[in-house]
Amino acid sequence: MTPILTNNLPDTDIDDGDEDAASTPASSAIELKLTPEFCGVRLDKALSQLLTEYSRSRIQQWIDAGHVLVDGQAARGKTPMLGDETIVIEPQEAPEEQPYQPEPLPLAIVHEDKAILVIDKPAGLVVHPAAGNWSGTLLNGLLHHQPALAGVPRAGIVHRLDKDTSGLMVVAKSLQAQTDLVRQLQARSVKREYLALVWGQPQLTGRVDAAIGRHPRDRIKMAVSQHESAKPAVTHYQRIATGAIDGRPVSLMRCQLETGRTHQIRVHLQSIGFGLVGDPLYGKPHLASVFPRQALHAFRLGLVHPVSGKDLEWNAPLPADFSGLLAQAGMSGVTID
């Protein structure tokens, strides 16, 4: 069972376990000559046995897209082989292997100079390409807005917001600026304040100091954890106003981060009994339909400019959907200092 391979040049392709440990450049065709032992074996299974360096899902994608020819003709994965066919495969790069592409996306630019860019990210925009979102992300839009960002790791992105969290983000336009901003984040000197609408009425002020790690049973979630892999996390909060939605009490909270862990505000507030309105992941399912996303907005950002050394601060007004939610809760006249 020895296949004939031509121009097979392996390359590195490391992902989260769903893809292959090795890959072949798209320009390198693979030619196989089947032997009688494959008589009656489905095409997809035969290729999985012969091309063990590729995942079954990757091979199936190539078959479905017509990049696998059996005796010069496209074939379906479940087609049984006779055992004497010549198969030609044209490997295609997976999206995560391809260079990130510039895309013309609308960016709400709050501030821009030679060193940094401050964006007011809308809800629904993914920050960085990942599984299920290889295009249409903030990173793609940044590369179109400033092609030179292709030379900066992660196109200058130094921190992220969840897809459905709106608000302010800073982007570095040079490696030097990025290094400085990362150091500020590590030193916890970057000022990041959020507005969150939660179910219930927390005390007027408080502090949650609880490490956050991966949820022990649901790998999509984060959770307050005492596991050794959990990372320290601190959130300060202040209740600004109260109201009600469908007869249930809600509170508008100002949250300030000392750290920036994944889902930090959502996890910390939920851990003390005050989940975010509209949160589909951590909230109660029967309440999530009130608002189509978690009610969380990064409204204030402060930092030291990486070149001038000046203290800078920006505010982002609430987006229309969040303002409408506050009006529904009877808090349309609330002012935020």
Catalytic residues: 162
Q: Could you tell me the sign of the dihedral formed by the alpha carbons of 314, 315, 316, 322, in that order?
A: positive
Look up residue 331 and give its two tokens: 């808090």
What distance lies between CA 181 and its chain's CA centroid? 20
CB count in 10 Å sphere of residue 218: 10
- Let me know if 152 is exposed, middle or buried by CB neighbors in 10 A (0-12, 13-18, 19+): buried
Q: Which residues have CB under 8 Å from 73's CB, separation 6+?
A: none
Pairing outcome for strands 22-23 and 11-12? antiparallel
| Angle (CA) 171 174 179, round 5° | 80
C-alpha span between 102 and 67 (Å, rounded): 26
C-alpha span between 185 and 258 (Å, rounded): 9
CB count in 10 Å sphere of residue 151: 10
